[in-house]
């Protein structure tokens, strides 16, 4: 079991560019979560999928952020027109599903917007 896989581990973009972050959940897990971690804001929930369907995107900045889960083996978080305030560590987590709540976190992608 390789755990939750996130790629790339580090990404540097220029202001206004697009960034796509990838997450591969633990095999067999039906729930995928995205969080963001910064020194100032701490850990913030972004969005959540269950069985590939979007369930809750209440934490997503509405205009430039989007997330998808096209199949059970990966999810993507896309940030358009990146801004310096988007710089953060983006964490993906997965859990096995209803009735089991423990979330396993990936190593994160550190996004730096210059």
Partner 1 sequence: GEKVEQHESTLSVREGDSAVINCTYTDTASSYFPWYKQEAGKSLHFVIDIRSNVDRKQSQRLTVLLDKKAKRFSLHITATQPEDSAIYFCAASRTSSGQKLVFGQGTILKVYL
Say whether residue 29 binds partner 1 (CB under 8 A). Answer: no
CB atoms near residue 28 (< 10 Å): 10
Tell me the C-alpha distance between 13 and 94, whole Å: 27
Contact segment (CB under 8 A) with partner 1 among 21-29, 45-53, 64-72, 74-82 equals 45-53
- Dihedral angle at the C-alpha atoms of 38, 43, 44, 45, nearest 10 degrees? 130
Stretch that binds partner 1, among 11-19, 27-35, 60-68, 70-78 (CB under 8 A): 27-35
Q: Which residues between 66 and 85 bind partner 1 (CB under 8 A)?
A: none
Distance CA 60, CA 67 (A): 9
Q: Does 61 bind partner 1 (CB under 8 A)?
A: no
Which member of 7, 20, 66, 103 binds partner 1 (CB under 8 A)?
103
């Amino acid at each position: 079991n390789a755990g939750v896989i996130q790629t790339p581990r580090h990404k540097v973009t220029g202001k206004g560019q697009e960034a796509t972050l990838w997450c591969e959940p633990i095999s067999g897990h039906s729930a995928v979560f995205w969080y963001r971690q910064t020194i100032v804001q701490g850990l913030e929930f972004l969005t959540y999928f269950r069985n590939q369907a979007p369930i809750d995107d209440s934490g997503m900045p509405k205009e430039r952020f989007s997330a998808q889960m096209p199949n059970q083996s990966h999810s993507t978080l896309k940030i358009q027109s990146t801004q310096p305030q988007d710089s953060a560590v983006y964490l993906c987590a997965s859990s096995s599903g209803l009735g089991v709540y423990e979330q396993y976190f990936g190593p994160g992608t550190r996004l730096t917007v210059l």
